[in-house]
Structure 1
Amino acid sequence: MKVVLLAGGLGTRISEESTLRPKPMIEIGGMPILWHIMKEYSYYGFNDFVICAGYRQHMIKEWFADYYLYTSDITFDFTEGNEMIVHDKKTEPWKVTIVDTGLNTMTGGRLKRVQKYIGDETFMLTYGDGVCDVNIKDLLDFHISHGKAATLTAVIMDEEKGHLDIAYDNSVRAFREKNVSDSKPINAGYMVFEPVIFDYLKDDDTVLEKEPLEKLAEDGQLMSYSHHGFWQCMDTLNQKMKLEEMWESGKAPWKVWD
């Protein structure tokens, strides 16, 4: 099953560093936050990633190329032609497809652009700037059990994110994006979609968190998986520093892998 990572927007500029590189490439503990997110999915056995890149997308491609080389032993043999031999690969068993989805494309448009890499199958999607300790296997099992088109992970936070009106059966009755902070359940990302989601996406200007999710809620096709554990986005420098402190202390809640 493929995991789609939204990593192409200009996003919020949390520091001078984020004007020089995509926010998902800002490091926590010496590794990009994108790597942390992928490590969590990989822990649950999901290793096929499609990265929706855009802003400084070449830096994401270069990082993965270098990561493969830096974590392996390499022989460069120039005696008879040019040959590179890779020994003792230490990288994760990942398949990573990095797609330039445009500089100014909105979230729904980015997803629409990678449709051909996903195919006609259930897939997962999240943002490239937040970490969580949600049990992804349980999330997927919940999605399969209800048979609807979409599932998102809901957490209770005092944040200005997409607020949810959740019914007793975990169906999302309404979705509203970025309102006054009022301690309601919010969309933390970590979503699961059936391929019918592409029918809700029009073009590059489509914002996933607006009309598509709102229409899915109206159609009774959007469900929520309640998560009561850790979740933290990285929209500000203080949030980055908070994540860095957790990692350095050895008590990072999202680090479920060994």
Structure 2
Amino acid sequence: MGILNIEALFITEDQSVLEAMKQIDATHNQVLMVAENKKLKAIITDGDIRRHLLRGGKLEDKIREIANYSPKFIHEKDRDKSKELMKKWSVLSLPIVNEALEIQSIAFLKDYEIGRKLSVNAPIVVMAGGLGTRLHPYTKILPKPLIPIGEIPIAEHIINHFMEYECDEFHFIINYKKNMIKAYFGDVEKDYKIEFHNEEKPLGTGGGLSLLKGKLKSTFFLTNCDVLIRANYKEIYDFHKQNGNMITIVAAYKHLTIPYGVINLITNGEIASIIEKPEYSFLTNTGFYVVEADVINRLKNDQAMGFTDIIEQQKNLGEKIGVFPVSEQNWLDMGQLEELERMRKELEV
């Protein structure tokens, strides 16, 4: 129920939102305890951070500005009731404290989402027609959707994640080695519907959607076949609908440290400043979206284009484009060989 090193989940209120994000990513939990000398002061979750950023907050802001200073907790004598109380209070974790409010352990209610209906039941479009050139030599033999991650290919991992939200209608846009993809799913025992849409020529990450004209009439998820988002799909879907977006981009925060001293110049070779190993944080497109069906109806047939071009097209038409941020750890992308190995390690545990 507790974890071995609870100090890994401690953070101080003077630390930044960026530091909290990094710590949440490193610990693979969605919560941190704001503590001083082990004494519980507040709690901060990944949801608190996301809401802060969506309100225009900065990564440099202090945790004290967004933490919950009225957290739920239980005393050691009640630790046997932790699961019952987490369900009652609709929380996924609960600090266990002594009489001095010093944190002794933390209880987690894994794989259980409290008080939320997880059903989304939206159709899913998977862009699965690319050559996968960044994954040679694997894709010389197999199409990208069939590259195995553990005992099943990446395409089945994607399907299984959506099935947890009662999404059972899948549309695969295929081109490269399409007969292998059809043959594989023809032999798989499945409790979902899958329809294949053949590109006669490469249409890019967006143009292939024109093959779905008249076939999708409701809000749908769109994903590349080489990414897996480990987030709450119901929360993403609800965010999209509540904000009246035409397209919602799921974006991941990336943190990069330049391993050199970066020099800024004025003129004539004169140095203005030198910054040792600067850090940069930015949002990056994951290739996972929620999309309204009207987007498909506005596409020209057989016109090759990227989905980012479609986003610009909709923006120019005055449509609302939203961004739902997730942590870097919640985005698995096998588009490159090193990332493929990371995905295997993450999913084979």
Q: Cα–Cα, structure 1 residues 40 and 108, in superposed 2: closer, same or farther, change >3 Å?
A: same
Q: Cα–Cα, structure 1 residues 158 and 235, in superposed 2: closer, same or farther, change >3 Å?
A: farther
Rounded Cα–Cα distance in structure 1 between residues aligned with 2:286 and 2:335: 13
1:146 paired residue number = 243
Shift of residue 146, structure 1, vs aligned partner: 1.1
Mapping of residues 57-68 of structure 1, within 5 Å: 57-68=178-189
CA contact (8 A) 2:229 2:332 kept: yes
Shift of residue 222, structure 1, vs aligned partner: 0.7
Mapping of residues 6-85 of structure 1, within 5 Å: 6-68=127-189
Question: Per the alignment, in what secondary structure is the counterpart of residue 147 of structure 1?
Answer: coil
Residues 1:121 and 2:218 aligned together: yes
Q: Deviations over 1:154-175 (max 9, x none)?
A: 111269xxxxxxxxxxxxxxxx
Shift of residue 105, structure 1, vs aligned partner: 1.9
Mapping of residues 68-107 of structure 1, within 5 Å: 68=189, 91=190, 93-107=191-205
In structure 1, give the amino acid aligned to 2:234: K
Residues 1:197 and 2:318 aligned together: no
Question: Per the alignment, in what secondary structure is the counterpart of residue 214 of structure 2?
Answer: helix
Rounded Cα–Cα distance in structure 1 between residues aligned with 2:220 and 2:150: 29
Residues 1:215 and 2:299 aligned together: no
Question: Per the alignment, in what secondary structure is the counterpart of residue 154 of structure 1?
Answer: strand
Rounded Cα–Cα distance in structure 2 between residues aligned with 1:212 and 1:65: 32
2:28 paired residue number = none
Rounded Cα–Cα distance in structure 1 between residues aligned with 2:285 and 2:301: 22
- RMSD, aligned CA: 2.1
Paired-residue identity, %: 28
1:78 paired residue number = none
The match for 2:336 among 236, 247, 252 is 236
Question: Per the alignment, in what secondary structure is the counterpart of residue 189 of structure 1?
Answer: strand
Runs of 5+ unmatched residues, structure 2 = 1-121, 257-279
In structure 2, give the amino acid aligned to 1:150: I
Q: Cα–Cα, structure 1 residues 15 and 208, in superposed 2: closer, same or farther, change >3 Å?
A: closer
Q: Cα–Cα, structure 1 residues 99 and 185, in superposed 2: closer, same or farther, change >3 Å?
A: same
2:277 paired residue number = none
Rounded Cα–Cα distance in structure 1 between residues aligned with 2:304 and 2:282: 25
Shift of residue 103, structure 1, vs aligned partner: 4.1
Rounded Cα–Cα distance in structure 1 between residues aligned with 2:162 and 2:147: 19
Rounded Cα–Cα distance in structure 2 between residues aligned with 1:103 and 1:220: 29
Shift of residue 54, structure 1, vs aligned partner: 0.8
1:175 paired residue number = none
Rounded Cα–Cα distance in structure 2 between residues aligned with 1:158 and 1:8: 30
Shift of residue 215, structure 1, vs aligned partner: 2.5
Rounded Cα–Cα distance in structure 2 between residues aligned with 1:10 and 1:102: 14
CA contact (8 A) 1:149 1:222 kept: yes
Question: Per the alignment, in what secondary structure is the counterpart of residue 188 of structure 1?
Answer: strand
Q: Cα–Cα, structure 1 residues 158 and 55, in superposed 2: closer, same or farther, change >3 Å?
A: farther
Rounded Cα–Cα distance in structure 2 between residues aligned with 1:67 and 1:223: 36
Rounded Cα–Cα distance in structure 2 between residues aligned with 1:148 and 1:60: 33
Q: TM-score, length-normalised on structure 1?
A: 0.73
Rounded Cα–Cα distance in structure 2 between residues aligned with 1:201 and 1:23: 26
Question: Per the alignment, in what secondary structure is the counterpart of residue 242 of structure 1?
Answer: helix
Question: Per the alignment, in what secondary structure is the counterpart of residue 111 of structure 1?
Answer: helix
The match for 1:225 among 324, 328, 336 is 324
Rounded Cα–Cα distance in structure 2 between residues aligned with 1:199 and 1:100: 18
In structure 1, give the amino acid aligned to 2:325: S
Residues 1:109 and 2:190 aligned together: no
2:285 paired residue number = 187
Shift of residue 52, structure 1, vs aligned partner: 0.6
CA contact (8 A) 2:127 2:172 kept: yes
Q: Cα–Cα, structure 1 residues 206 and 221, in superposed 2: closer, same or farther, change >3 Å?
A: farther
Rounded Cα–Cα distance in structure 2 between residues aligned with 1:143 and 1:243: 27
1:167 paired residue number = none
Shift of residue 220, structure 1, vs aligned partner: 4.2
Larger Rg: 2
CA contact (8 A) 2:240 2:290 kept: yes
Alignment: residue pair count: 204
